[in-house]
Amino acid sequence: MKSTPLHFSIRRSLFALPSLLLALQAPSADAAALSLGPVSGSSTTTTHEYSEDYSAWFLADFSVDPDAPDPIQVTTGIAVGWWTQELTFPAAFPSLITGDIFNIQELVQISPGGFPVDNWKQEIVTPGWEWVAASIFDNNTSSEVPGLQVLLNGATASFTFDPLTAGTDLFIIKELRYTGAGGAAAPLSVRVSAVPEPATSVLGLIGVTALFIRKRRH
């Protein structure tokens, strides 16, 4: 009988304390600090291997203390591109079966200096996958972020919420389903973007234009 991968159901975990998850043994992959914005065609790419210990892809910064990972530092910018997450499987991972459910857990912190975050989008780029459920928690309170609205549409997950202040630790949990025909476990890509409010975008463009004019005069 074929062994099956351990799957972590988001329906059983959405309201669990995120701090309980951080007490588990950390996976080997590390994540670096990065910038995040709405610009297409450019991105920062990080690679993360599926962890049997977490029964999930767990995205966090394990570089300082693997037993107590830090959040990935995320700074937003109007002229910055997407964050591409390359999700891989360990060697000899069981073949995928149509309908298999997997979980992604992300621990991130909004760093100072960028635009206020209130719009977060994640898109599965690799065919054969779709979102099933998702939520975003304030990791310090273990409560969903205020004003959270989640829209799942196939490979796209869109989150809107009240603007988050710099320094907020977010714990993002998402469940995705394999819809392909089955076969060897192959890597998949998820593209993350943050979109500023229209007023913020206009102010940013004014600033860039003013800087360009100033340089032309010198």
For strands 143-144 and 149-153, give the pairing: unpaired
Handedness of CA 111, 61, 21, 101 (dihedral sign): positive
Q: Write out pLDDT tens, residues 96-118.
A: 999 999 999 999 998 887 888 89
Q: What is the CA radius of gyration of the chain?
A: 18
Q: What is the pTM of this model?
A: 0.77
Under 8 Å between Cβ of 39 and 82: yes
Of 119, 142, 122, the residue nearest 131 (C-alpha): 122
Does 205 score more than 80 pLDDT?
Answer: no
Domain presence at residue 5: no
As for how many domains the chain has, the answer is 1
Domain presence at residue 175: yes
Domain presence at residue 49: yes
For strands 156-164 and 117-124, give the pairing: antiparallel
Does 87 score more than 80 pLDDT?
Answer: yes
Domain presence at residue 1: no
Does 179 score more than 50 pLDDT?
Answer: yes
Domain presence at residue 2: no
What are phi and psi for residue 207, nearest 5 degrees? -65, -45
Per the structure, the complete domain to which residue 73 belongs is given by 10-217
